Amino acid sequence: MPKIKAIHHVAVVVDDMEKSLAFWRDALGIELHELRDVPAEKSQVAFLPIQGAEIELVLPTSADSGIAKYLAKRGPGMHHICLEVDDIAGMLAQLKQKNIRLINEEPRLAADGKQYAFIHPEATGGTLVELYQI
Amino acid sequence: MPKIKAIHHVAVVVDDMEKSLAFWRDALGIELHELRDVPAEKSQVAFLPIQGAEIELVLPTSADSGIAKYLAKRGPGMHHICLEVDDIAGMLAQLKQKNIRLINEEPRLAADGKQYAFIHPEATGGTLVELYQI
């Protein structure tokens, strides 16, 4: 049976990266591991690891991206939670069998080699959930 | 210096506990540790631990609570992220010194003896953040 192993990250959409870092990094004192441009997702992402998990601050860099539209509609705040799973293909098969609505029916491959897939918020009770296999 | 030690939990507001458990517990296979009535917060809370952290599903049990009003306004979904800190009083003092707007200026004591305090979402870039000292 595929198993959820950990909360991998919580992604937060921000509208001002410097202001957000002034809180998460400077006020709370969480180390900024990396500030990375991610052209494939039309965003800039700040990675702030906390003991095996991390906060990811996501700033849209183009108005036509999904994340920019989310920001325009909902305002800044938590965007999704990512759970690490030991067998993503097995988990997606299990979810499909239970009629859980998926955004990605098959695992997708990130630039860094990780496999990921999103579950539709309609199926989870309103939360966008990402699965990650490392 | 006070230090953020871990992501303690992510709280998710739900409008149907059974339907939410059908996803988080039955479809994802995360163990339900406890389903607890919390009269002080006018809610029922499901605790689903994942390797040191947990997902907390929160169902309002009264229409006049803060969480019920949040649900009515925003719909179900992620409500707050809770960070464990080694010295909550020290962290709150540090935040005040940096003019971070707090909901609780002083640590509050939960029924189980933990100290907690909420930071205002206005100060964090739109995310409600709770601090916990265990």
Contact (CB, 8 A) for B46 and B94: no
What is the Cα–Cα distance from B118 to B108, expressed in whole angstroms? 9
A27 to B121: CB separation less than 8 angstroms, yes or no: no
Residue type, B98: K
Q: Does A126 touch chain B (CB under 8 A)?
A: yes
From A83, A123, A126, residue closest to B75, measured CB to CB: A126
pLDDT in tens, B24-81: 999 999 999 999 999 988 999 999 999 999 999 999 999 999 999 999 999 999 999 9
Q: Do the Cβ atoms of A67 and A77 come closer than 8 Å?
A: no
- Between A and B, how many CB-CB pairs are < 8 A? 124
Q: Which two tokens stand for residue A117?
A: 């897939």
Whether residue B112 is predicted with pLDDT greater than 90 in this model: the reply is: no
Residue A19: Cβ within 10 Å count: 13
Distance in Å, alpha carbon of B63 to nearest chain A alpha carbon: 19
List the A77-85 sheet strands across, edge first: A34-38, A43-50, A53-60, A4-13, A77-85, A129-133, A115-119, A108-109
- What fold characterizes domain A4-133? 2,3-Dihydroxybiphenyl 1,2-Dioxygenase; domain 1 (3.10.180)
Q: Where are the domains of chain B?
A: 4-133
Tens of pLDDT, residues A90-133: 999 999 999 999 999 999 998 788 999 999 999 999 999 999 99
ipTM: 0.94
Residue type, A128: L
Structure tokens at B18: 């059974």
In this prediction, residues A54-68 reach a mean pLDDT of 95
Residue A33: per-residue pLDDT: 98
- Chain B, 37-76: which have a CB under 8 Å from a chain A CB? 50-53, 55, 57, 75-76
pTM: 0.95
Query: What does the DSSP 8-state code read for residue A126?
Result: S
Which neighbouring-strand residues pair with A69?
Answer: none
Selected residues 85-104 of chain A with any CB under 8 Å from a CB in chain B: 91, 94-95, 98, 100
Cβ–Cβ gap B100/A2 under 8 Å = no
Of B26, B52, B76, the CB nearest to A126: B76
Query: Chain A contact for B77, CB < 8 A?
Result: yes
Specify the pLDDT at position A112.
81
- Identify which of A5, A20, A125 has the shortest CB distance to residue B16: A125
pLDDT above 90 (res B111): no
Does any CB of chain B come closer than 8 Å to the CB of residue A134?
no
Which residues of A fall within a CB distance of 8 Å from B75?
126
pLDDT in tens, B83-93: 999 999 999 99
Query: B83 to chain A: which residues are within 8 Å by CB?
Result: 28, 50
Tell me which residue in A4, A57, A121 faces B29 most closely, judged by beta carbons.
Answer: A4
HSE on the CB side for B35, CA within 13 Å?
Answer: 8
| Closest Cβ opposite residue B76 in set A1, A98, A125 | A125
